[in-house]
Amino acid sequence: MSNDLHNDAVFVLRMQLGGNGLRVAVKDSIDIAGYPTRAGSSALACAPDATRHAAVVQLLLEGGCRIVGKTNMHELAYGVTGINRWTGTPCNPRYPERIPGGSSSGSAVAVAAGLVDFALGTDTGGSIRIPAACCGVYGFKPTFGRVSREGVLPGTSTLDCVGPFARGLTMIEKAMTLIDSSFRTELAPTAVRAGWVDVAAAPEVMAAARGALSDAGISVTPIRLPSFEAAFAAGLAIIGAETWAAYGHLIDSGALGADVHARLLAAREITPDALVTSERRRVSLREEIDVALASVDVLALPTLPDCPPRLEAADAGAALRLSELVRPFNLSGHPSLSIPLKTSANLPVGLQLVGRRGADAALCALAHRVVD
């Protein structure tokens, strides 16, 4: 595996599988029969070939798509920078001095570089929406449980979702119709009631996100979610416990990257009491969001609290704060879309729209009011 920083690091495996339809890339935590699933980790370098396609891969093939490769990722999907010392770090094609974002780094880069029509990633704590915002593309996290995780690592998760990246919103909807047979595109509403979630973000990020809504003629109502800030820590505790359960056996392999090794050691110390508290916060947050969405059509807030850091300044631990505005919606299970924006200094940020649970198509339809 290469450890160079260039676009040779986008794909960890290349292939030509399926029909002659849309070109698709698939994150290397998703099984493709006949190929290993290594999840960006040298600890899984000798993983056997998958014997069956993941459910979403089977649906892509049945839909006539052509799968062109498995994409690189932050090791074990346990980080948000996308930096990987074993497989290499995919170069952010639109902002090459910035991190590509993780964990679905290769999928976001493949889309931003025009190498595919859309790509699949997974999102446990922002791992689709963060790289989408970093690379200037669209990224969609469906309602939890809506898209099958059969054949996806880790095998068990109460947070993780499979979802698409694309360069346009219509392609996001097309991808969803392929991986979710219940998804039906809807017409954009004639009017939108948006709730602006009270969060902290850099002034230039706030200006870009609020400006996108204003430019679309969408006025906002302030929304406060009292459990939102605590949900960040709760999400970290749950992902930590679930990642330790899935990959703790690798801790003594000597093959893990330093950042993932350190996070797993910390995850080992998460107590049952901390998980009980985190689950209580999950319930509170879900209820607060459901109540808020009973009075508005969509919640809006930035995807990232700040612009993506430069590669040389990226610190794995500090970068976790990039997930503080997206991770709560993994905890609550609500569908969430990141729309690419730029600051006045031409740096990548995103507008995050959050819809009612199960109303994924309605959320995408509403987003057309912002981007069209």
- Whether residue 26 contacts residue 179, with contact meaning beta carbons closer than 8 Å, is answered with no
Strands in the chain per DSSP E: 11-18, 23-27, 66-71, 118-123, 138-141, 161-166, 194-197, 220-223, 298-302, 336-342, 348-354
Q: Count of alpha carbons within 13 Å of 321, Cβ hemisphere only?
A: 13
Residues near 163 by beta carbon (within 8 Å), at least 6 away in sequence: 120, 121, 122, 123, 128, 139, 140, 141, 142, 147
* Full DSSP string of 203-217: HHHHHHHHHHHHHTT
Residues whose CB is less than 8 angstroms from the CB of residue 2 and which lie 6 or more positions away in sequence, other chains included:
8, 9, 87, 88
Cα–Cα nearest to 37, from 13, 21, 18 = 13
Starting at the earlier edge strand, list the strands of the sheet with 161-166.
11-18, 66-71, 23-27, 118-123, 161-166, 138-141, 336-342, 348-354, 298-302, 194-197, 220-223
Asked if 295 is an active-site residue, the reply is no
DSSP SS3 for 182:
coil
Our answer to whether residue 27 is catalytic in this structure is yes
Give the active site residue among 41, 42, 103, 278: 103
Measured CA to CA, the distance from residue 350 to residue 302 in angstroms comes to 6
CA angle, corner 37, sides to 34 and 43, nearest 5?
A: 135
Q: Give the position of tokens 């809506």.
A: 146
127 included as an active-site residue: yes
Q: What is the DSSP letter of 250?
A: G
**Which residue out of 27, 70, 141, 174 is catalytically annotated?**
27
Compute the chain's Rg from CA coordinates. 19
- The structure tokens 């997930």 sit at 323
User: Which of 29, 41, 104, 127 is flagged as catalytic?
Assistant: 127
The count of other CB atoms within 10 Å of the CB of residue 14 is 11
Angle between helices 55-62 and 169-179 (to 10 degrees): 110
* Catalytic annotation, residues: 27, 103, 127
